[in-house]
């Protein structure tokens, strides 16, 4: 509701979408991107790597770094071999330490990325990002807390999307003596409107950062839908698509289930064998029945990158009925934009060679009054449907009414960390994403 993805991580640099630039999407599959899709490198708006500062003790003090003055409390700038770092230095935090900006950015913030790791052989630590828009008088946590691991940096990406003056504070939250390293802080400007530049299927916004270098947020912009694919789970993070009557015809199901041969070989995928005997369906996110105009468009939906292991009672019951309801809606001349995926946890089931089963499947549906409308057509009166369905047969009946699983979009964002309708006016988002559909 409050956030919007306006940049993409590509080779470690924030990328902004532009018309026909080649950028780092040169390798997009030939079946895939809409004409004119591409990205180009944009300047990093703020970057801090602690390379120009010096602080050898943990006592709180202001330090002049390359980006400005920061206060480091229970934090020093580490240079040891056991400090995980890019270059020669990184911040090392202990106890309940903080790294706090002493200055405001006036261009707001779109996203913040931070590298983090446990120091040396120390136990893992927990930390969070906080934002202030009143000069540091009050702070609000951005996104979820993060946990470090030893050995190498992990990248934490936070979607902020707040306009106006803003500053940030990184806090160690576990309070223990275990130390953590922080490095490579990058903050992008707040902007709006990148979804349509990527594809007509993301006209209302992009739910999370994607790239062609991050195999767990791998972008595949196809002619029929857009996928953010997670090779670690071997399922999509989310699939986004447009639906109106121009996609519907009389073509039969192709049923040619297969791995996605448009993805690079270094992106691990599920195989057909992973699903055999698993007890789960190969559950389409963008449905086969939403793409019946041509055999090629229907066949495209049978890539396993468009599927999650889905409980039969879910897939063949309320989920299928909701899919049919969307087609009934567009038959009246309306258009819908849909985003579907799953929620996951540490205890999520796995099938085959490590294909992760979603705990729940979600869908966000925006109903527009006419084909060709975009973010500006979404008002506080626009119908927005959110659903979350349990993904185990014991937890859901095949005869259940899909309406019984309606939730607010805000609750789906809380469960996934994604930002839906991100190119819609934030004031409108605040209203429609808090509401539970009741039509």
CA atoms within 13 A on the CB side of 113: 23
- For 337, the token pair is 């934009």
Closest CA to 31 of 284, 282, 299: 299
Cβ burial, residue 355 (10 Å; 0-12/13-18/19+): buried
Note if 116 is an active site residue: no
Find the radius of gyration of the CA atoms of the chain: 22
Q: What is the DSSP letter of 138?
A: S
Q: Report how far residue 215's alpha carbon sits from residue 9's, in angstroms, rounded to the nearest whole number.
A: 11
Q: How far is CA 363 from CA 319, 342, 358, in A?
A: 9, 9, 13
Q: Are 228 and 198 in contact (CB under 8 A)?
A: no
- For 130, the token pair is 């906080």
The catalytic residue among 115, 116, 201, 284 is 284
Q: Are 98 and 180 in contact (CB under 8 A)?
A: no
From its phi and psi, is residue 223 left (phi > 0), alpha (psi between -120 and 50) or beta? alpha
Q: Report how far residue 399's alpha carbon sits from residue 299's, in angstroms, rounded to the nearest whole number.
A: 28
Q: Report how far residue 90's alpha carbon sits from residue 185's, in angstroms, rounded to the nearest whole number.
A: 10
- For 209, the token pair is 């950062």
The catalytic residues are 284
């Amino acid at each position: 509701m409050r956030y919007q993805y306006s940049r993409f991580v590509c080779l470690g640099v924030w990328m902004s979408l532009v018309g026909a630039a080649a950028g780092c999407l040169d390798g997009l599959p030939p079946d895939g991107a809409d004409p004119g899709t591409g990205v180009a490198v944009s300047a990093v708006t703020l970057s801090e790597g602690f390379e120009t500062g010096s602080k050898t003790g943990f006592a709180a003090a202001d330090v002049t770094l390359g980006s400005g003055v920061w206060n480091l409390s229970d934090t020093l700038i580490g240079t040891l071999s056991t400090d995980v770092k890019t270059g020669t230095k990184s911040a090392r935090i202990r106890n309940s330490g903080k790294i706090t900006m002493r200055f405001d950015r006036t261009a707001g913030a779109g996203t913040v990325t931070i590298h983090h790791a446990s120091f040396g052989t120390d136990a893992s630590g927990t930390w969070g990002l906080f934002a202030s828009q009143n000069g540091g008088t009050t702070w609000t946590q951005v996104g979820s807390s993060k946990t470090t691991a030893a050995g190498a940096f992990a990248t934490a990406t936070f979607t902020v999307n707040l306009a106006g003056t803003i500053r940030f504070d990184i806090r160690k939250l576990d309070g223990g003596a275990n130390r953590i390293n922080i490095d490579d802080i990058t903050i992008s400007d707040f902007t709006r409107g990148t979804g349509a530049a990527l594809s007509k299927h993301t006209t209302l916004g992009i739910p999370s950062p994607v790239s062609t270098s991050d195999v767990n947020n791998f972008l595949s912009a196809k002619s029929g839908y857009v996928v953010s694919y997670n090779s670690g789970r071997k399922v999509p993070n989310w699939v986004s698509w447009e639906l109106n009557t121009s996609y519907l015809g009389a073509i039969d199901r192709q049923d040619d289930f297969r791995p996605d041969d448009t993805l690079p070989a270094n992106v691990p995928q599920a195989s057909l064998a992973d699903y055999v005997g698993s007890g789960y369906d190969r559950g389409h996110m963008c449905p086969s029945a939403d793409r019946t105009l041509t055999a090629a468009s229907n066949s495209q939906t049978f890539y396993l990158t468009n599927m999650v292991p889905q409980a039969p009672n879910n897939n063949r019951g309320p989920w299928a009925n909701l899919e049919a309801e969307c087609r009934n809606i567009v038959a009246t001349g309306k258009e819908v934009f849909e985003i579907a995926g799953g929620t996951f946890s540490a205890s999520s089931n796995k099938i085959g060679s490590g294909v992760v089963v979603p705990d729940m499947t979600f869908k966000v549906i925006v109903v527009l009054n006419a084909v060709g409308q975009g973010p500006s057509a979404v008002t506080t009166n626009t119908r927005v449907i959110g659903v979350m369905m349990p993904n185990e047969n014991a937890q859901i009946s095949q005869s259940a009414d899909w309406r019984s699983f309606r939730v607010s979009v805000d609750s789906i964002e809380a469960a996934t960390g994604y930002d839906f309708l991100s190119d819609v006016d934030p004031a409108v988002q605040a209203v429609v994403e808090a509401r539970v559909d009741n039509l």
